[in-house]
């Protein structure tokens, strides 16, 4: 069974494994239908949602309520035996943050996910990507004077500088509060932001709390991983993402066994 509209896609497999996955795309603002169908084909019940830019939603990735994702999990829960959340880039940031406050989530998968909360531009000022219980989530500021050195722009220097000037732990995601499995997939040639550094920070913080984190990386892959039987995504902003189609697909193949284990997929 499947239901799709521009704001969400709910896909039920013919042979369910009992796993339910809330799937979040990144700054493209799209519903990640292709990945949802892939997970469905391997036994997951998938709810992929648009989390900004839709009716009644924030027009951009700023001050998006974490409650939006919890409500989506509420809708998914009656159809499955266990809940998981997976997200890419900004969506990975949302997935990790949601998993810190919702203990129902038994597995979290972050593709190029951030270790900290970042701001989004509302047209006038930088605001936190997220709110929780009505309050903006603390974030790591960006240099408002920064300008890209080339076209298409690489935002890696901007985010690197933000991490370098982070004020203590302000803006860090409390990843030690994430229960269950945590899997991070990151490209070493990501030109959007430092995915590998984020993954290392997350794994180190959890290790200090006695928690395991699985990290799968590829030195030549970029910001977007291409999983087996996926086509490389063609939409989104015109920016430098790094990697090559071959390396991005190699990371997808290398990470797929871990993804299948984390999300209880049929292989």
Digit-coded pLDDT (tens) for 140-167: 999 989 998 889 999 999 999 999 999 9
Written as six digits, the tokens of 152 are 């298409």
Residue 119 lies in a domain: yes
Q: Is the pLDDT of residue 121 over 80?
A: yes
Q: Is the pLDDT of residue 172 over 70?
A: yes
Residue 225 lies in a domain: yes
Q: What pLDDT shows up at residue 178?
A: 98
Q: Is the pLDDT of residue 171 over 70?
A: yes
- Specify the residue for token string 């996955």: 21
Average pLDDT of the chain? 96
In which band, very low, low, confident or very high, does the pLDDT at 236 lie, cut at 50, 70 and 90?
low
Residue 112 lies in a domain: yes
Residue 213 lies in a domain: yes
Segment 51-77 mean pLDDT? 96
Q: What pLDDT shows up at residue 180?
A: 94
Residue 216 lies in a domain: yes
- Specify the residue for token string 């129902």: 104
Segment 158-185 mean pLDDT? 97
CB proximity list for 163: less than 8 A, separation 6 or greater: 116, 140, 194, 197
Residue 105 lies in a domain: yes
CATH assignment of the domain containing 258? 3.40.50.1820
- Looking at the 3D structure of the chain, how many domains does it have? 1
Q: What pLDDT shows up at residue 6?
A: 72
In which band, very low, low, confident or very high, does the pLDDT at 2 lie, cut at 50, 70 and 90?
low
Residue 48 lies in a domain: yes
Regarding pTM above 0.85, the answer is yes
Q: What pLDDT shows up at residue 206?
A: 99
Q: What pLDDT shows up at residue 190?
A: 98
* Domain residue limits at 24: 2-262
Residue 267 lies in a domain: no
Q: Is the pLDDT of residue 5 over 50?
A: yes
Q: What pLDDT shows up at residue 4?
A: 56
Q: What pLDDT shows up at residue 1?
A: 46
Segment 96-114 mean pLDDT? 99
First to last CA, the chain: 20
Q: What pLDDT shows up at residue 97?
A: 99
Residues 140 and 163 sit within 8 Å (Cβ to Cβ): yes
For residue 178, give the nearest of 156, 209, 199 by alpha carbon: 209
Digit-coded pLDDT (tens) for 78-102: 999 999 999 999 999 999 999 999 9
Q: Is the pLDDT of residue 235 over 70?
A: no
For residue 131, give the nearest of 123, 147, 120, 144 by alpha carbon: 120
């Amino acid at each position: 069974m499947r239901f799709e509209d521009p704001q969400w896609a709910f896909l039920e497999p013919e042979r369910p494994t009992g796993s339910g996955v809330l799937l979040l795309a990144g700054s493209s603002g799209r519903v990640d239908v292709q990945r949802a169908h892939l997970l469905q084909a391997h036994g997951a019940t998938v709810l992929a949602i648009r989390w900004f830019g839709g009716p009644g939603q924030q027009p951009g990735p700023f001050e998006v309520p974490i409650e939006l994702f919890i409500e989506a999990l509420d809708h998914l829960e009656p159809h499955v035996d266990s809940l998981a959340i997976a997200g890419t880039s900004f969506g990975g940031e949302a997935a990790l943050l949601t998993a810190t406050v919702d203990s129902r989530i038994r597995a979290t998968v972050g593709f190029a996910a951030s270790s900290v909360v970042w701001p989004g531009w509302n047209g006038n000022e930088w605001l936190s990507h997220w709110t929780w219980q009505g309050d903006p989530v603390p974030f790591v500021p960006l240099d408002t004077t920064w300008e890209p050195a080339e076209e298409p722009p690489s935002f890696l220097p901007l985010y690197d500088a933000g991490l370098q000037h982070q004020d203590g732990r302000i803006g860090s995601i409390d990843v030690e509060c994430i229960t269950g499995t945590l899997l991070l997939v990151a490209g070493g040639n990501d030109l959007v932001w430092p995915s590998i550094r984020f993954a290392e920070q997350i794994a180190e913080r959890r290790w200090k709390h006695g928690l395991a984190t699985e990290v799968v990386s590829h030195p030549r892959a970029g910001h977007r991983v291409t999983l087996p039987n996926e086509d490389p995504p063609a939409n989104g902003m015109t920016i430098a993402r790094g990697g090559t189609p071959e390396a991005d697909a190699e990371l997808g193949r290398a990470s797929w066994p871990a993804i299948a284990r984390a999300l209880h997929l049929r292989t």
